[in-house]
Structure 1
Amino acid sequence: MRNTRPARPSRRAKPAHSSAREGGSAPAGCVWLFGTHAVSAALCNPRRVFQRLLLTDQESAILQGADVKHRPEPELVARSVLDELLGPDAVHQGVAALVKTLPDLSLAEAVERPGPVLVLDQVTDPRNVGAILRSAAAFGAACLVVQDRNAPEETAVLAKAASGALEVVPVVREVNISRAIEALQKANFWTIGLDAGGGLLEGASLTGRRVALVLGAEGKGLRRLVRESCDEIAGLYMPGDMESLNVSVAAAVGLYELVRERAPSAYHNAATKKPI
């Protein structure tokens, strides 16, 4: 019999300007986004300020449904231009946009939104942070809190991994994670460090509470002071042979555990219906 172990989250386009062919990074305060999901979501976000929109197809589907006032005049470019501009490994799908980084949002403003909060303690991989944002959007999280000096900046890679969620879930940058946890506690959040050494995370027991899940970096886990700042430490039910999960997977499973008891009865009925 296997043991139960808590998981450790261990219209027509105009020609492009010559500057597009020069490649290089985005100017200060701006970021290149690429890929249909990331750019489409940005076009639907009134908080985004566009500098340029580059397409390889003048009939691109991302133009459909976008606010004309919000949308810049697209520039038609060859695919090789985007390859040179973004790098050979960028899966840009023929779409790129130069945008200003999103304006900062305070923690007090962000938690006015409904849903749980995710706090990351020095998770530095932009792909992991992007994947966590995607899960946060899927499960209705209020915001994502990161440490300002030990978290990736808003980048094309992060936005691509987030698949549009960067436009939906606010990212709050805090100097001190322990103090951010304290601020959440004062705002009546129950803070749970997702790590080994505690009980099991049980969403049913948290019904009626606002919860903040705190996750640590790959390998290191939660730092001692951050761990001690949490109201409790809990893990995920893992009956298999692996003792830990990638932090982005742990975040998704933890969020699901928090929200599944709140799922509409119609969803429960559909999910438990046996096939004929």
Structure 2
Amino acid sequence: MSVVELPALLRRAVPALAVALACAGIAAPSAAAEPGSGCAPATSTTALPAAVPVLDWSENLGFDRQGNLWVSRLYRNEVQRYDSAGQLTARIPVEFPGAVRLGPDGLLYVVYGDAPTSVVRPGGVVRFDPAAAEPRPEIFASGFTMPNGAAFDTDGTLYVASATGVIRIGRDGAVDTGWTERAKLNANGIAIHDGTVYLTSNGGPLGRVLRFPITDPGYRTVLTDLTSSLPGVPDFADDLLVDDAGAVYVTTLSGQLVRIDPNGQSCRVLTGEPMTSVVAVPGRPGELLAGTERGTVLRIQLAP
């Protein structure tokens, strides 16, 4: 078994165990809430096809200031740039890339080491100029265990979601150790909206979506615990975004895009293949892009 197979196996292992327990008559945690069908359904089309299924696994997505789409190809160990016509225009080597986010300085920040190997070969964040003729990644911060998600706040501080917690990084690349020490929990996807940090967490229970104030990372509230399409069986909550109205959209391993209201009520807006990430399309309200395990990038149109 190669090391690049491990992230997929880890993501599938817990849902499979939950299915086995359900079949054996062992109940799932009662806190889990199956997404309802009260939302108007979204529609999806293919924005970018997968050249080689699974090898092209699209772990995360982000846009630069020029409107180019950047895709983290986890198994290819690179981030790829696509123009507005969907043409591949650049390949930048990054080891096991995760979240790709535009910084306040116009640089792209890419999480690296999004794999179990980061236990012995720690991951971190690299950054580069996306407009350069030949972008060259440089290490911005390092020493993290399986970092995955990332988000900037309005002050330009970077927050990285990792297997050991949320890491707060200043604009100089220094880790705020005091804040970070108070944010220790299993974290996967992360988004920041209106002074609040939103997280997906799969460390107990599976499929948890929670939030806390930036000013108090120890004060956490649970939005909901998601289940798969099988009633009572927990799902793996992957990436998320928060829209201007405060609604949270979460992608899951079972292939759901779930919308969660600020009061915690959830509903399923799309069902399909396993989705790894979600990003809003700049300048196009109601339009999202989603990465998938197969590698296809989906274009999702939310209902008005």
- Greater share of residues in helix: 1
Q: Which has the higher strand share?
A: 2
- From the CA coordinates, give the structure whose radius of gyration is larger: 1
Q: Select the structure with the greater relative contact order (CA < 8 A; seq sep ≥ 6).
A: 1
TM-score by length of 2: 0.26
TM-score computed with the length of structure 1 as normaliser: 0.27
